[in-house]
């Protein structure tokens, strides 16, 4: 690895160094504020180093990692999100009698895993990144140990994630057996060889998809989602909903488009499997959300549906002519989804007490008349999830439909549209509760840190919804090598 | 810039009204009233400036160009990546509908003066933002911008119904939102399909109305895309099979909400058909016309019959809307200038007469705390002025000659007659049904003995102030419809391209970037 490689890798190196510094500082002295400050400073430095890495992109650093604009874009997104989550977690953790400092350590570690996923071009780095992220998440989900719910959620996630990792490894092994390579971009030439056994390949891909589907909570691998969302502390749930899913999605997109696996011999059936997963996720995610009465569970099911929506451009982009619009659509939608989800969980975090996280619809009853700003932010976030104009979610949904329409994937778009109207129903239920007559309940004040984050998210959300052009220009230059 | 002001004034006044509630309880009302008056005055000024006589001198009609003649335009970059522009434009059709918007806006503020007592600031925020959204719909000329405004006006309307509505407001507001959202998303798919079809044919990705006008489409594609648009507008209009959201939403909404719904939101559906479906898909629309006219006549009769069967004042008026808007649909698809004239006059007259009936229902509800016609009986004894006004608007609604509704419906029938005598005859029967329900309303509510011994305050000065202009406008529309029609006539050629395969000249220097694959 030469000097350019080191420089290109700088964002990851800075992040790793931050983790070490935070760990040492905790060993030296436990100070909540100091740990937060170090975390934020490290993330800001990492973000700044993107500008050093950007001129060198695209740059292949070892066979494992590729630093192109695509991965740098996701680095930026992940660092920013982790920054927001750390600030939100600061307020959240202050209300709890647990060791607080390790939270930042673990979430930084998980962010490193997410960033590696976005940059990996090889199954080895894929698996390493995934495990770095997952193992940190096991601890994060069960972070509030005195409470039974987080512990239950953590164990559930641990067992299922371990099983899915086993599937994933087996799938990778089968693909390796069939093609003799672990490098994504060597897959396409290997597919052309006449001696590829299609059964190995198909089985390997399906197992791989099961592992990825688990992380993305796509139907039928979604069963853990509502329990983990409900049980995990609000900032951790935000982390799982955004960075965990976004990084896996970035990887999935790169894997599918650079390996051209779906142009290979078993393509037809694989495509069918992927489409079926998309349909099921959109339909079941939305229908099951209708039955929920806990806001965190509603958000969990809605996230299943949103990941299903995101498969629409992925499928549309399988033909190379539509690829660039598909990548654009996915990237924009993920940005919008990150902003929105962070905001929604941020509000939940602010409303949570030391005893329990806010979740029941009653916790939000009449919030608008007590805390207009907080409730207004939450309502805008929900409207964005529902894709109402003037929010980022609308532009995101527009992108999805445009990507689908440009590839003439009408069946997928129609299902997307119909199911998103079903989705509107449960979002409106929460909105209606927010504006319902006042219920006598205490509501915590908005602290400066959370207020700053939520305000920034709100502004960003509306900015992206009304003036999306700068972000579009940034995203338009992304391409998958 | 004037066009931007039309939208910005209510938008900013709405935001201000919300804050102003803290200074003074009445401040939001005055702010809202001032904003609407300012917009109305601005609209009138534009109308007078561009009066048809002056226009003829400006632009000789010899230039028989089917491209629309815009009086005012505003065209800014917005999202160049997709060829989306912030393009507002005003022609006679939008101008007349804007005037109606601001007029009913003033009325809505006035009638909410005592009805809305809680969360006054937030109420006026929503009211003004709905009006701003409606204004945007009438002005937008970029299809993306149109969709943007179209969806955006739903959110404040949802709040108006959900927060200040009557007993079943939650149900009604959600139903309203889901119906319109689903149909709106179908329109989004249709818009994108049209845009990508245009891009595939010309290599230019644009949402510009003028550029999309001449999109060459295969027969099947044109049908599907046209249907996407038609369904969205038919739900809003509402045409018969998809009208079920309307009675609930109209009945449960607060008075101002009902006025805006009936007077304006329904008109956006008719406007969409006029502005987009007919010119964008001339050939398919021509083939589709018989079916649309059949739906229209069904709506006229079905709405009328259901109205006759209602005991709830507002629900009854809501069903009459279905019937009246059937005439609009009939006029739009009859395919001649006479019927289009009729559709436009019906749109305006219905906005005012039905709006007024909703106002009266609201005034009675405020006094009686019920909308049940069975509980009314003989109100003439105690509120003679209110009853007289109600009689006037009931007569307008049944199509009494000399009032606006008559002119509109008569012109529609006149235009529809040469196209289909059978349908015109059935539609004419709809006027007969209107007589039944309107007279039944007057008889049940106002005539007869005052059995429940109501003692009620008659119209206050503010209420009279809201209703009197509505009476005058209806009379004026009925007696001098040509003042309005002359403005509209200039627009008709652009709404009615020849039904033969349209070979429209491409728009000069169509904005938008080349499609980057």
C-alpha B340/C-alpha B489 separation (Å) is 9
Give the list of residues 6+ apart from residue B202 with CB closer than 8 angstroms, or none: none
C-alpha B423/C-alpha B434 separation (Å) is 17
Confidence band (pLDDT; 50, 70, 90) for B483?
A: confident
Rounded to 10 degrees, the C-alpha dihedral A442/A443/A445/A446 comes to 170
What is the mean predicted confidence (pLDDT) over B202-209?
A: 89
C-alpha B317/C-alpha B247 separation (Å) is 9
Residue B6: strand, helix, or coil: helix
Question: Do residue B174 and residue A425 have CB atoms under 8 angstroms apart?
Answer: yes
Indicate whether B517 pLDDT > 60.
Answer: no
Question: Do residue B177 and residue A424 have CB atoms under 8 angstroms apart?
Answer: yes
Q: Is A166 on the interface with B (CB under 8 A)?
A: no
Q: Which two tokens stand for residue A252?
A: 């999935």
CB atoms within 10 A of CB A270: 20
Cβ B375 vs Cβ B298: under 8 Å: no
pLDDT of residue A481: 64
| Sign (positive or negative) of CA dihedral B25, B29, B35, B41 | negative
The CA distances from residue A415 to A378, A385, B288, B416, in Å, are 27, 17, 26, 39
Question: Do residue A401 and residue B192 have CB atoms under 8 angstroms apart?
Answer: yes
C-alpha A276/C-alpha A39 separation (Å) is 41
* Smallest Cα distance from B253 to chain A, Å: 15
The CA distances from residue B317 to B305, B325, B365, in Å, are 12, 12, 14
Mean pLDDT (chain B, rounded): 86
The predicted-structure confidence for B70-102, as pLDDT tens digits, reads as follows 888 888 889 888 889 999 999 888 999 999 999
Candidates A421, A433, A470: best to mutate against B (most CBs of B within 10 A) is A421
The predicted-structure confidence for B143-154, as pLDDT tens digits, reads as follows 999 999 998 888
Confidence band (pLDDT; 50, 70, 90) for B369?
A: confident
Q: What is the ipTM of this complex?
A: 0.90
> Which residues, numbered 393 to 452 in chain A, qualify as contacts with chain B under a Cβ-Cβ cut-off of 8 Å?
394, 398, 401-402, 405-406, 410, 413-414, 417-418, 420-421, 424-425, 428-429, 432, 435
pLDDT of residue A145: 85
Question: Do residue A468 and residue B174 have CB atoms under 8 angstroms apart?
Answer: no
The predicted-structure confidence for B103-115, as pLDDT tens digits, reads as follows 999 999 998 888 8
C-alpha B466/C-alpha B462 separation (Å) is 6
- Say how many CB pairs under 8 Å bridge A and B: 72
* Smallest Cα distance from A396 to chain B, Å: 13
> Which residues, numbered 216 to 235 in chain B, qualify as contacts with chain A under a Cβ-Cβ cut-off of 8 Å?
none
pLDDT of residue B506: 37
CB atoms within 10 A of CB B378: 18
Question: Do residue A413 and residue B189 have CB atoms under 8 angstroms apart?
Answer: yes
Cβ B341 vs Cβ B325: under 8 Å: no
Q: Which two tokens stand for residue B130?
A: 């709905």
Cis peptide bond upstream of A220, omega within 30:
yes
Q: Is A60 on the interface with B (CB under 8 A)?
A: no
Return the residue matching tokens 């396409």.
Answer: A188
Cβ A236 vs Cβ A348: under 8 Å: no
Candidates B81, B129, B150, B235: best to mutate against A (most CBs of A within 10 A) is B81
The CA distances from residue A156 to A137, A224, A238, in Å, are 12, 7, 18
What is the mean predicted confidence (pLDDT) over B255-277?
A: 92
Return the residue matching tokens 């998303």.
Answer: B185
Cβ A328 vs Cβ A475: under 8 Å: yes
Q: Which two tokens stand for residue B359?
A: 């106002």
pLDDT of residue A35: 95
* Smallest Cα distance from B310 to chain A, Å: 29
pLDDT of residue B299: 93
- Stretches where chain A sits below pLDDT 50 are none
What is the mean predicted confidence (pLDDT) over B119-134?
A: 92
Q: Is B152 on the interface with A (CB under 8 A)?
A: yes
Question: Of all helices (H) and strands (E), which one includes residue A312?
Answer: helix A295-316
Return the residue matching tokens 């349908």.
Answer: B423
Query: How many domains is chain A partitioned into structurally?
Result: 1
Cβ A73 vs Cβ A331: under 8 Å: yes
DSSP characters over A328-378: HHHHHHHHHHHHHHHHHHHHHHHH--SS--S-BGGGGTTHHHH-HHHHHHH
Q: What is the 3-state secondary structure (H, E, C) of B253-309?
A: CCHHHHHHHHHHHHHHHHHHHHHHHHHHCHHHHHHHHHHHHHHHHHHHHHHHHHHHC
Give the list of residues 6+ apart from residue A193 with CB closer than 8 angstroms, or none: none
DSSP characters over B349-405: HHHHHHHHHHHHHHHHHHHHS--BGGGT--GGGT-HHHHHHHHHHHHHHHT-TTSHH
Question: Of all helices (H) and strands (E), which one includes residue A289?
Answer: helix A267-290
Indicate whether B502 pLDDT > 70.
Answer: no
A378: containing domain: 3-476
Beta bridge partners of A452: none
* Smallest Cα distance from A372 to chain B, Å: 11
Q: Is B82 on the interface with A (CB under 8 A)?
A: yes
Return the residue matching tokens 């050093």.
Answer: A52
Give the list of residues 6+ apart from residue A125 with CB closer than 8 angstroms, or none: A64, A65, A116, A119
pLDDT of residue B503: 36
Question: Do residue A401 and residue B189 have CB atoms under 8 angstroms apart?
Answer: yes
Candidates A375, A400, A430, A432: best to mutate against B (most CBs of B within 10 A) is A432
C-alpha B499/C-alpha B282 separation (Å) is 5
C-alpha B120/C-alpha B108 separation (Å) is 13
C-alpha B56/C-alpha B77 separation (Å) is 31
Set of chain B residues whose Cβ sits within 8 Å of the Cβ of A406: 196
Domain assignment present for residue A481? The answer is no
Rounded to 10 degrees, the C-alpha dihedral B160/B166/B170/B171 comes to -120
CB atoms within 10 A of CB B26: 12
Domain assignment present for residue A107? The answer is yes
Question: Do residue B189 and residue A417 have CB atoms under 8 angstroms apart?
Answer: yes
- Please tell me which of the candidates A324, A369, A405 has its beta carbon nearest to residue B517: A324
Residue A470: strand, helix, or coil: helix
Beta bridge partners of B312: B372
Set of chain B residues whose Cβ sits within 8 Å of the Cβ of A383: 155
Residue B393 Cα to chain centre, angstroms? 18
Question: Do residue A413 and residue B78 have CB atoms under 8 angstroms apart?
Answer: no
What is the mean predicted confidence (pLDDT) over B400-421?
A: 91
Set of chain A residues whose Cβ sits within 8 Å of the Cβ of B174: 425, 428-429, 432
C-alpha B353/C-alpha A299 separation (Å) is 45
Give backbone dihedrals phi and psi of A98, rounded to 5 degrees, phi first. -135, 165
Q: Is A294 on the interface with B (CB under 8 A)?
A: no
Cβ B142 vs Cβ B85: under 8 Å: yes
| Sign (positive or negative) of CA dihedral B293, B294, B295, B301 | positive
Domain assignment present for residue A183? The answer is yes
pLDDT of residue B500: 39
Cβ A101 vs Cβ A27: under 8 Å: no
Cβ A296 vs Cβ A237: under 8 Å: yes
CB atoms within 10 A of CB B297: 25
> Which residues, numbered 74 to 93 in chain A, qualify as contacts with chain B under a Cβ-Cβ cut-off of 8 Å?
none
Q: Which two tokens stand for residue A141?
A: 């989900």
- Please tell me which of the candidates B119, B178, B193 has its beta carbon nearest to residue A405: B193
């Amino acid at each position: 690895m030469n000097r350019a490689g080191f420089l290109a890798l700088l964002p990851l190196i800075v992040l790793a160094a931050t983790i070490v510094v935070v760990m040492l500082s905790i060993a030296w002295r436990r100070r909540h504020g100091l740990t937060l400050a170090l975390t934020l400073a490290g993330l800001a430095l990492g973000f700044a180093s993107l500008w050093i890495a950007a001129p060198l992109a695209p740059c292949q650093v070892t066979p494992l990692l590729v630093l192109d604009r695509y991965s740098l874009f996701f680095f930026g997104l992940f660092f920013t999100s982790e920054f927001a989550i750390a600030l939100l977690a600061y307020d959240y953790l202050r209300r709890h009698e647990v060791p607080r400092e390790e939270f930042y350590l673990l979430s930084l570690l998980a962010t490193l895993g997410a960033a590696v996923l976005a940059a990996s071009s090889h199954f080895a780095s894929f698996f390493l990144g995934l495990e770095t992220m997952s193992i940190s998440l096991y601890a994060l989900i069960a972070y509030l140990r005195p409470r039974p719910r987080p512990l239950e959620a953590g164990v559930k996630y641990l067992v299922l994630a371990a099983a899915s990792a086993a599937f994933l490894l087996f799938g990778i092994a089968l693909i390796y057996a069939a093609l003799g390579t672990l490098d994504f971009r060597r897959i396409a030439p290997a597919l052309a060889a006449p001696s590829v056994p299609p059964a190995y390949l198909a089985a390997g891909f399906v197992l791989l998809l099961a592992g990825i589907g688990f992380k993305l909570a796509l139907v039928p691998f979604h069963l853990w989602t509502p329990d983990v969302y409900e049980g995990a502390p609000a900032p951790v749930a935000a982390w799982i909903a955004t960075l965990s899913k976004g990084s896996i999605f970035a990887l999935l997109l790169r894997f599918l488009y650079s390996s051209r696996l779906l142009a290979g011999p078993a393509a037809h059936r694989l495509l069918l499997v992927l489409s079926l997963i998309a349909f099921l996720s959109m339909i079941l995610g939305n229908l099951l959300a209708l039955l929920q009465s806990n806001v965190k569970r509603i958000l969990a099911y809605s996230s299943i549906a949103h990941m299903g929506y995101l498969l629409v451009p992925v499928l549309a982009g399988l033909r190379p002519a539509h690829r660039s619009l598909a990548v654009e659509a996915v990237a924009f939608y993920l940005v919008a989804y990150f902003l929105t989800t962070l905001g929604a969980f941020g509000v939940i975090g602010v409303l949570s007490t030391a005893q329990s996280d806010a979740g029941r619809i009653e916790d939000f009853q009449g919030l608008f008349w007590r805390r207009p700003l907080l409730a207004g932010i939450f309502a805008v976030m929900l409207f964005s999830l529902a894709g109402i104009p003037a929010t980022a979610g609308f532009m995101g949904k527009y992108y999805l439909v445009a990507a689908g329409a440009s590839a003439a994937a009408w069946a997928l778009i129609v299902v997307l549209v119909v199911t998103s109207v079903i989705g509107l129903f449960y979002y409106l239920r929460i909105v209606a509760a927010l504006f319902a007559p006042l219920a006598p309940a205490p509501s915590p004040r908005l602290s400066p840190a959370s207020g700053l984050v939520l305000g920034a998210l709100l502004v960003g959300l509306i900015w992206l919804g009304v003036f999306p052009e700068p972000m579009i220009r940034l995203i338009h230059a992304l391409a998958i090598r | 810039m004037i066009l931007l002001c039309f939208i910005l004034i209510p938008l900013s006044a709405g935001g201000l009204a919300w804050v102003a509630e803290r200074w003074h309880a009445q401040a939001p009302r005055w702010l809202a009233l001032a904003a609407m008056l300012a917009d109305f005055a601005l609209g009138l000024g534009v109308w007078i400036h561009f009066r048809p006589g002056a226009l003829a001198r400006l632009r000789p009609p010899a230039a028989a160009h089917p491209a629309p003649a815009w009086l005012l335009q505003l065209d800014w970059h917005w999202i160049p990546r997709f060829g989306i522009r912030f393009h507002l434009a005003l022609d006679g059709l939008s101008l007349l509908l804007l005037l109606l918007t601001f007029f009913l806006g003033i009325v809505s503020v006035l009638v909410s003066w005592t009805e809305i007592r809680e969360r006054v600031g937030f109420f006026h925020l929503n009211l003004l933002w709905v009006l701003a959204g409606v204004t945007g719909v009438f002005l937008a000329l970029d299809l993306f911008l149109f969709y943007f405004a179209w969806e955006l006006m739903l959110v404040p309307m949802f709040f108006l119904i959900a927060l200040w509505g009557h007993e079943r407001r939650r149900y009604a507001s959600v139903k309203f939102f889901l119906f319109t959202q689903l149909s709106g998303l179908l329109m989004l798919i249709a818009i994108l399909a049209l845009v990508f079809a245009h891009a595939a044919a010309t290599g230019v990705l644009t949402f510009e109305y003028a550029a999309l006008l001449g999109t060459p489409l295969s027969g099947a594609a044109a049908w599907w895309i046209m249907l996407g648009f038609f369904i969205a507008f038919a739900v809003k209009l509402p045409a018969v099979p998809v009208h079920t959201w309307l009675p609930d939403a109209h009945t449960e909404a607060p008075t101002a909400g009902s006025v805006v719904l009936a007077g304006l939101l329904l008109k956006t559906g008719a406007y969409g058909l006029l502005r987009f479906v007919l010119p964008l898909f001339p050939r398919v629309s021509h083939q589709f016309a018989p079916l649309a006219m059949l739906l229209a006549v069904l709506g006229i009769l079905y709405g009328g019959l259901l109205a006759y069967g209602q005991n709830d004042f507002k629900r009854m008026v809501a069903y009459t809307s279905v019937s009246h808007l059937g005439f609009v649909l009939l006029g739009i698809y009859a395919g001649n200038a006479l019927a289009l004239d009729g559709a436009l006059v019906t749109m305006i007259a219905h906005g005012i007469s039905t709006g007024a009936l909703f106002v009266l229902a609201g005034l009675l509800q405020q006094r009686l705390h019920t909308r049940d016609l069975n509980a009314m009986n003989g109100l003439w004894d105690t509120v003679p002025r209110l009853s007289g006004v109600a009689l006037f608007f009931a007569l307008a609604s049944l199509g009494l000659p000399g009032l606006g509704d008559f002119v509109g419906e008569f012109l529609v029938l006149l235009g529809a007659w040469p196209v289909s005598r059978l349908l015109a005859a059935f539609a004419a029967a709809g006027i007969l049904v209107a007589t039944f329900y309107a007279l039944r309303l007057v008889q049940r509510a106002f005539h007869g003995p005052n059995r429940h011994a109501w003692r009620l305050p008659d119209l206050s000065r503010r209420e009279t102030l809201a209703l009197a202009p509505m009476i005058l406008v209806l009379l004026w529309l009925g007696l001098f419809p040509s003042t309005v029609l002359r403005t509209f006539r200039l627009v008709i050629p652009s709404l009615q391209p020849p039904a033969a395969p349209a070979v429209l000249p491409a728009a000069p220097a169509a904005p938008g970037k080349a499609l980057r694959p």
